[in-house]
Amino acid sequence: MVMVEQKKKRFALFLATSDSDFVKKTYGGYFNVFVSTFGEEGEQWDLFRVIDGDFPDEKDLDKYDGFVISGSPHDAFADADWIVKLCEVCQKLDELKKKVLGICFGHQIITRVKGGKIGRARKGADMGLRRISIAKDNEKLRGHFGGEVPASLAIIKCHQDEVLELPESATVLASSEICEVEMFSIGDHLLCIQGHPEYNKEILFEIVDRVLNMKLMEQEFADKAKSTMNTAQPDRDLWQKLCKTFLKGRSEQV
């Protein structure tokens, strides 16, 4: 009998932020945070620091089963060389119908690439734990969650920009009082989330303290952001399930 070796699934992280000293010391870098959240044994994950202009060759894009675009302190509507290049690569991934999970900045980049509009959040910057409402009766979500779709999920938010106008082909999957487009999908290959499924309390608090020390936020805003996690935690397990089943192209068994 001829044994056929199963091809290892391969994914890429497009990291659009620099590693803070805290993240390097605690986790060895954001790459490890993402892989521990979305990766599984037997997979290959590659890191591209797109913020530093590091991208895969176009001819290699087809070798990957999926891509994750991280958050960033930069505006997705800006025209820095690396942001323009990222948009061009995402356009190619869309043409190839590759799975792309866009998180925060990544969520906004996909919006830009697909013809939507992004800009400063209408209700101001949002930082802290938020409970967002999940769309009912969505067949894709049922498949990802393995049956019943939760009415709402808690997720850590950290953004000053948002989707102002959706691309025509997009379907809203979640919303909140603060942000109309918390999550959307396009086709079967693009899933975009405004919040951070990969964040935990420690990462959020370190970002809040760092931004506060840079005098980019008021003490009251920082205290309020931290207080959202006094008695609650993000629904990390359910976000992991959703993101993993999307990226791996499978549905959970009902």
* Active-site annotation holds for 198: yes
Of the residues 107, 144, 196, 243, which is catalytic?
196
Bridge pairing between strands 117-120 and 126-134 = unpaired
Q: Measure the CA angle with vertex 207, ends 201 and 210; round to 5°.
A: 140
Catalytic residue among 107, 162, 182, 198: 198
Q: Which is the catalytic residue, given 104, 158, 192, 243? A: 104
* Residue 218 among the catalytic residues: no
Check if 243 is active-site: no
**Catalytically annotated residues:** 104, 196, 198
